[in-house]
Structure 1
Amino acid sequence: MEPGAGPAGEVDKLRTQLVNSASALQTAYQKIDKLLGESSFWEGDAAVGFREALDGDLPKYMKDAHKSLTQAAGHLGAWHGGLTSRMELAHKYDIEAGDHKGDLKTANSRHETAKQDPDLKLAGQTFEEGPELQSGRPA
């Protein structure tokens, strides 16, 4: 499987999207924080309305969302690493299983050939002296 394809690729793509979203939230939070700081020099009803619109829960929510998305991206990154290594191990085991399957087929073929050998039918039999011993066949 090529890099970036399959489940591991999808996990990495999601992790990247979370990192990008967290970064965008941090940038937006920083801009709002800067605007709020700069608006302290601005006076009047419009300045008060602007500060009220930006102040309050919005910056906190943005900061919390940034933190949550960053943590989620970190967890996905760790999971991605484990998933990738397990997929590589599974691929290695698939190759080994294919090799062993070929070995088993060869062994079964040899076994079938050996079973046809008439000398093997004599295994476990004993012969007394006489014609049976000479012919290799029990009486």
Structure 2
Amino acid sequence: MTAMLIITGAILAALILSGKAKTMTANQWLALAVALIGANFLRGGNWLIGGAMIGGAAFLNGWRILIPAKDETPQKRKPRNFELDRARSLLGVDVKADRSAINDAWRERLAEHHPDRGGDEELARQINRARDILLDDLDSQKP
């Protein structure tokens, strides 16, 4: 029993430290639990039930825990009007601002609020995100 607790702890620690635990679905957690219980049956000598449980865990999508999914780029959604308005007000640019005006306003605001100069880290993040939103909106408007 102690060996299984150590193995379970090692697997959970590896998933947490690698960052995969944050993105796991409920089916993947279920598959992990079934596989660990199946391994415990195998350790106890019950090969038939243990093998069936591990096979069932693989069927429940458990293989995707260890094998990374294919490169699926998430679709960028178009920002809503209030996001654009908030980004413009944060940078202090108007609706007709071009790329250079947005970048100039971004540099100026970030110089004021950069964390290395005593500014707020969250506000700096918001300033960077506002620039990204406005530039993405400009790129999407081009024919």
Which of the two has greater helix per residue? Answer: 1
Does TM, scored on the shorter chain, surpass 0.5? no
**Which TM-score bucket, shorter chain as reference?**
under 0.3
Higher relative contact order (CA 8 A, sep 6+): 1
TM-score (normalised: structure 2): 0.27
